[in-house]
Amino acid sequence: MHPTEFRIPFNKPALVGPELEYIRQAIEAGQLAGNGLFTKRCHAFFESDYAIHRALLTHSGTAALEMAALLLNLQPGDEVIVPSFTFTSTANAFVLRGASIVFADSSPTHPNIDVSRLAHLITPRTRAIVPVHYAGVACDMAALTSLAQAHSLAIVEDAAQAVESYYHQQRLGTFGCLAAFSFHETKNLIAGEGGMLAINAPELAQRAEIIWEKGTNRSAFYRGETARYQWVDVGSSFLPSEMTAAYLWAQLQQRQVLQQRRLAQWQQYAEALAPLQALGVELPIIPDYAQQHNGHIFYLICRSAAEQQALLAHLRQQGILAVFHYQTLHDSPFYREQHDGRPLPHAHRYATQLVRLPLYFDLSEAEQAFVIDAVLAFYRS
């Protein structure tokens, strides 16, 4: 079945405010290419509300990571520590620059990177650590920051899932010198596609803008800071269109409505499915430092890989599209020959046992109750 043919799909893109009106305004303004009015509004919001030194919208979260890799000036032989349980973009952005990926295992209690086991992965060639805030739940940023500072390493946060999430009282995406966000249609705040690079290190801001503008100083030219714009560095076309920015601007204005709904749904799953823990099924564990999460994903960790597949099949039979998630990158067809052979058992467990349940703005209470009943019925059978 196609995802749209399910009674309850895994996701539906949210349309909650003046998205279509803003897209119309963008068209009527006569500038659909990037860096127009709506792009600037989004930049100003993140720089003010998140206290990001410089925000640059991109056409995807992947593009933001690729910009980050360019800004680090990585060379062949440099090493970057990345969790194995993540999307390919997290690693691929650095592979494109010739870096070697050193894969880290997940925590025994959460899919996030196990910070307590990173020190032995650091070598004289290590340049950066890339934590992924899985499901919008913060990694242990105090421990990670301390480790990175001790070894003079850059932190690049993969905050693709972490918009509106916090570590204690500080927003995710503001710890690393660089951070990448995603506004893909499956995220909490969306623009269809789209992303953003957060530049928290002021010394990287000017070059980031040049890379963003295809290696030119075009932005400086439009601000009247130079008589002409020229090719001054490497770069690419990382800007999103104004229609993408217009959709995102509407979502940012409605972020509290979107967040309240999603968190209420997340909490309903947590309360209704809590009895499964007595059977050995794991529910999300939220560390004390990550209590202000964004409810991006609600997942179960089944007791075996066979149970994962059986639960997914059972839900499909009920017209519910629940899904697994990442397959481990260290054991992928592309990278397994380059991996150093270390087993990463926790990453493997999440890859083979985790099930994500439908969670989106338009999921009704009755539909969510139907999902919950179907999951509970599977475990009663």
pLDDT tens-digit map of 22-56: 999 999 999 899 899 999 999 999 999 999 999 99
Q: Note the pLDDT tens digit of each residue in 157-177.
A: 999 999 999 999 999 999 999
Tokens for 305? 């890989």
Stated pTM of the model: 0.96
Tokens for 304? 């075996």
C-alpha separations of 161 from 48, 124, 145 in Å? 20, 31, 20
C-alpha separations of 100 from 117, 257, 306 in Å? 19, 42, 34
Evaluate the CA torsion angle 85, 86, 88, 89 in order and state its sign: negative
Q: Is the separation of the CB atoms in 53 and 200 below 8 Å?
A: yes
Bridge partner residues of 237 (DSSP): 213
> What's the average model confidence in pLDDT over 190-197?
97
Residue 221: per-residue pLDDT: 78
> What's the average model confidence in pLDDT over 239-261?
98
Q: Is the separation of the CB atoms in 322 and 355 below 8 Å?
A: yes
Tokens for 177? 């010198």
Task: Please state, rounded to an integer, the average pLDDT across all residues of the chain.
Answer: 96
CA–CA gap between residue 236 and residue 272 (Å, rounded): 48
DSSP designation for 81 = E
Please enumerate in sequence order all residues whose Cβ is within 8 A of that of 279, keeping only pairs 6 or more positions apart, or say none.
303, 379
Q: Note the pLDDT tens digit of each residue in 316-337.
A: 999 999 999 999 999 999 999 9
The helices-and-strands tally (H runs, E runs) of the chain is: 12, 11
CA–CA gap between residue 370 and residue 269 (Å, rounded): 11
Task: Count CB-CB contacts under 10 A for residue 274.
Answer: 10
Where b means 16+ CB within 10 Å and e means fewer, 196-234 reads bbbbbeeebbebbbbbbbbbbbbbbeeeeeeeebeeeee
Alpha helices in 35-186 (DSSP H): 37-49, 61-71, 88-95, 141-150
CA–CA gap between residue 359 and residue 284 (Å, rounded): 14
Which residue type is seen at 331? D
Residue 229: per-residue pLDDT: 87
> What's the average model confidence in pLDDT over 256-261?
98
Please enumerate in sequence order all residues whose Cβ is within 8 A of that of 303, keeping only pairs 6 or more positions apart, or say none.
279, 280, 281, 353
Residue 1: per-residue pLDDT: 62
The residue among 373, 269, 272 whose CA lies nearest residue 319 is 373
pLDDT value at 126 more than 80: yes
Phi, psi torsion values for 79, nearest 5 degrees: -115, 140
What confidence tier does 266 reach under pLDDT thresholds 50, 70, 90?
A: very high
The residue among 65, 57, 109 whose CA lies nearest residue 88 is 65
Bridge partner residues of 106 (DSSP): 113
pLDDT value at 375 more than 90: yes
Query: To which residue do tokens 């650095």 refer?
Result: 94
The residue among 192, 188, 232, 191 whose CA lies nearest residue 212 is 232
Q: Note the pLDDT tens digit of each residue in 62-79.
A: 999 999 999 999 999 999
Residue 4: per-residue pLDDT: 73
Tokens for 156? 């690049």
pLDDT above 90 covers what percent of the chain? 94
Report the alpha-carbon angle 339-343-344, nearest 5: 95
Task: Count CB-CB contacts under 10 A for residue 373.
Answer: 12
Residue 222: per-residue pLDDT: 78
Alpha helices in the chain (DSSP H): 19-29, 37-49, 61-71, 88-95, 141-150, 205-212, 218-222, 242-253, 255-272, 305-317, 345-353, 365-380
Tokens for 107? 């925590």
Q: Is the separation of the CB atoms in 18 and 245 below 8 Å?
A: no
